[in-house]
Structure 1
Amino acid sequence: MSSSLLIMSCANIQLSESFSLTWNITDFSFADGTVQSSIFTNASEESKWTLLMFTCGVPYEEYLSLYFHWISGPKTGIPIKGRMAILNSDGEEAISRGESVWRFKTVKLKNTRCVCVFSHFLNSHRILQNDTLTVTCEVCSLHLLHSPENTQRSQVKVPECSMADDLGDLWDQSLLPDCSLVVAGQEFQAHKAILAARCPVFRAMFTHNMMERQTNRVEIHEMEPEVLKELLTFIYSGKAPNLQDMAAELLVAADMYLLERLKRMCEEALCRSLTVENAAEILIFADLYLTPNLKEKSITFINQYSSDVMRTPGWKTIQKGHPYLMAELFHSLVSAGASPSKRPRTECN
């Protein structure tokens, strides 16, 4: 059936919370395929809708599917509550779909978002009046339906996860410890399971046949107690509150215990702390502990302030003990297109 043969009317085009819709499809016997109503909206015009009819003709009967079609509106898809009916020639409901909640989903027909209200075989001679099919639709709301339960859930504020704080308290308060870590004569109580879960080195100590597994005691050398305390704080809570004040020492500890995230945190802190006075020392440090970002940042910084950095004691250390770093600095300067007068000198001042 061509669209020129259709005469359709929609009642209550501007929709409020409740509305009714009547759709008259004339020349129904000519219908073949898809028939679409005119567009209607809700009161705020935030959503647009149509009715769709799909037909499939068979001898003496028509197979009919009726859809509520969402054209535009909130991207979440809109459930609505309503009912739909087909009237007979006497204006009475011949076929109806009881009140229910319709939820829209994308269907394979023109990639539209529809809800199928019902599908049915029709006897045209009992349903049609002057070859006109009349469809009525009642909708309670075109807004998102919120049940009392849903409304209540939307008002509940879910607390933030406190796992890190809880584990931090376990460490701070020494609750139920089962091992100890000793450094410079100072002992720290800890928990083997947490240490093993968070640190590969401690995991190896406590899961293999090593002395620490037998004694539940770990002797730590070449580390200051405050650094170990910060290291353990990170293991338990993922935080290092004093990192900025001990970034270099903590990076060494993180490297020793294979704590990659903590090592990168320290690297970032050292990048922020670069000055003319410490740039050369930090470059040496970055090269020693394999921190590529810090090394690159240090080289860039030295290139930018080369004349000032060359007057520092750290620069003399590079000249005397790290000739390969001098070569990397020269290469970087040449790559950056620095003039010869700005290149670092190899001779001592």
Structure 2
Amino acid sequence: PAAEMTSDDHFYTQCKAESFSLTWNITDFSFADGTVQSSIFTNASEESKWTLLMFTCGVPYEEYLSLYFHWISGPKTGIPIKGRMAILNSDGEEAISRGESNTRCVFVGFDTFARLEDIMNEETGILQNDTLTVTCEVCSNTQRSQVKVPECSMADDLGDLWDQSLLPDCSLVVAGQEFQAHKAILAARCPVFRAMFTHNMMERQTIHEMEPEVLKELLTFIYSGKAPNLQDMAAELLVAADMYLLERLKRMCEEALCRSLTVENAAEILIFADLYLTPNLKEKSITFINQYSSDVMRTPGWKTIQKGHPYLMAELFHSLVSAGASPSKRPRFF
């Protein structure tokens, strides 16, 4: 028979909750147009993945910045979360903040998080060097699995194979420096190497087109998907990635070059972007040059554009007209 419940009986259900927070810096915020998305982040149990989504021209709230948690993956039923987001000022203090109640929605956030006018206003002290800083805190209720499945370590294992030169069957030589490698891995990851080994079964191949440190970084990416020294050799590595048809590495280098634009190098980077068909880098360079035209026009790179690349001059001027700059504010390129 079923047990009889009395007034003294108590029943308890324990719900597990975990909290985490992150900080998101959006550089060159004034150039943001439309949607900006953060990197993926997870809770401690790695059961769910989120990003932050920002809309700088929300519809129908065009005067507002919209900000959301975007749930990407996790349990099919979702995980109830409570979220809080804030925009910091130059002193690291919360200038604008909002909280969200418990929900299981894919998008959690605010259509009218902050007025764009307030963010861009220098008196609010929100933007520092055109960088917007967003912080968020998330509290999620979750029942953790009792079985922890290890992360896939394939990239690390292949990286060790390369780092330790285990069981190599070919070698690549550049400037007298030799790198031991594996034909099967090179062929699987790089179409140029695949063609090279398919049509020429030599176990030793001489590379003439790059420096040893660039080839080493290229091979590191082929084995591990990472390029730890990319920022220091982005241009040279992009040339190598273009030559060996490594599209992801090429885009990684393009992104690094976008971050490295300065008055001194903007003209050279524009020429480089045009030569190697990197549309995002080219567009970013054109926007940068138009913004700082008076300073860029005093650099040696600008003289190179004037003498050898007149069509780039035309593109720069066309971009100014398209952006709606008044004739009185357009720089004299010619």
* 1:334 match: 321
Stretch moving more, 66-75 or 331-340: 66-75
Q: Is the 8 A contact 1:281 1:314 kept in 2?
A: yes
Question: In the TM superposition, what is the alpha-carbon distance from 1:238 to its structure 2 partner?
Answer: 0.2
Structure 2 CA distance for partners of 1:269 and 1:188, relative to 1, 3 Å: same
State the Cα deviation string for residues 17-70 of structure 1 (Å, max 9, x = none): 999999999999999999999999999999999999999999999999999999
Question: In structure 1, which of residues 218, 223, 227 is the aligned counterpart of residue 214 of structure 2?
Answer: 227
Stretch moving more, 27-36 or 242-251: 27-36
CA distance in 2, matches of 1:18, 1:298: 40
Q: Is the 8 A contact 1:61 1:122 kept in 2?
A: no
Question: In the TM superposition, what is the alpha-carbon distance from 1:222 to its structure 2 partner?
Answer: 2.5
CA distance in 2, matches of 1:27, 1:317: 27
CA distance in 2, matches of 1:315, 1:133: 31
Question: In the TM superposition, what is the alpha-carbon distance from 1:286 to its structure 2 partner?
Answer: 0.1
Structure-2-length-normalised TM-score = 0.56
Structure 2 CA distance for partners of 1:70 and 1:224, relative to 1, 3 Å: closer
Q: Is the 8 A contact 2:87 2:94 kept in 1?
A: yes
Question: In the TM superposition, what is the alpha-carbon distance from 1:99 to its structure 2 partner?
Answer: 43
Structure 2 CA distance for partners of 1:207 and 1:2, relative to 1, 3 Å: same
Question: In the TM superposition, what is the alpha-carbon distance from 1:243 to its structure 2 partner?
Answer: 0.4
Question: In the TM superposition, what is the alpha-carbon distance from 1:302 to its structure 2 partner?
Answer: 0.5
State the Cα deviation string for residues 178-237 of structure 1 (Å, max 9, x = none): 00000000000000000000000000011124656899xxxx112110000000000000
* 1:180 match: 171
Runs of 4+ in 1 over 3 A off after TM superposition: 1-9, 15-100, 111-125, 127-140, 149-153, 209-215, 339-345
RMSD, matched Cα: 24.4
Structure 2 CA distance for partners of 1:61 and 1:133, relative to 1, 3 Å: farther
CA distance in 1, matches of 2:84, 2:288: 72
Indicate the SS of the match to 1:119. helix
Matched, 1:82 2:94: no
Structure 2 CA distance for partners of 1:6 and 1:116, relative to 1, 3 Å: farther
Question: In structure 2, which of residues 303, 316, 324 is the aligned counterpart of residue 316 of structure 1?
Answer: 303
Q: Is the 8 A contact 1:7 1:24 kept in 2?
A: no
Structure 2 CA distance for partners of 1:162 and 1:303, relative to 1, 3 Å: same
CA distance in 1, matches of 2:274, 2:253: 14
Structure 2 CA distance for partners of 1:266 and 1:32, relative to 1, 3 Å: closer
Q: Is the 8 A contact 1:280 1:315 kept in 2?
A: yes
Larger radius of gyration: 1
Indicate the SS of the match to 2:277. coil
Question: In structure 2, which of residues 103, 106, 111 is the aligned counterpart of residue 112 of structure 1?
Answer: 103
Indicate the SS of the match to 1:4. coil
Indicate the SS of the match to 1:231. helix
**Which sections of structure 2, spanning at least 5 residues, go unmatched?**
109-115
Structure 2 CA distance for partners of 1:222 and 1:156, relative to 1, 3 Å: same
Structure 2 CA distance for partners of 1:151 and 1:28, relative to 1, 3 Å: closer
State the Cα deviation string for residues 119-147 of structure 1 (Å, max 9, x = none): 9999999x99999999999999xxxxxxx
Stretch moving more, 35-44 or 268-277: 35-44
State the Cα deviation string for residues 232-287 of structure 1 (Å, max 9, x = none): 00000000000011000000000000000000000000001111111000000000
Indicate the SS of the match to 1:61. coil
CA distance in 1, matches of 2:311, 2:31: 88
Structure-1-length-normalised TM-score = 0.54
Q: Is the 8 A contact 1:32 1:56 kept in 2?
A: yes
Residues paired across the two proteins, number? 317
* 1:107 match: none
Indicate the SS of the match to 1:121. helix
Structure 2 CA distance for partners of 1:201 and 1:337, relative to 1, 3 Å: same
Q: Is the 8 A contact 1:174 1:189 kept in 2?
A: yes
State the Cα deviation string for residues 133-191 of structure 1 (Å, max 9, x = none): 99999999xxxxxxxx9999921211111100000000000000000000000000000
Q: Is the 8 A contact 1:205 1:213 kept in 2?
A: no
State the Cα deviation string for residues 55-86 of structure 1 (Å, max 9, x = none): 99999999999999999999959999999999
Indicate the SS of the match to 2:142. helix
* 2:39 match: 38
Structure 2 CA distance for partners of 1:79 and 1:206, relative to 1, 3 Å: closer
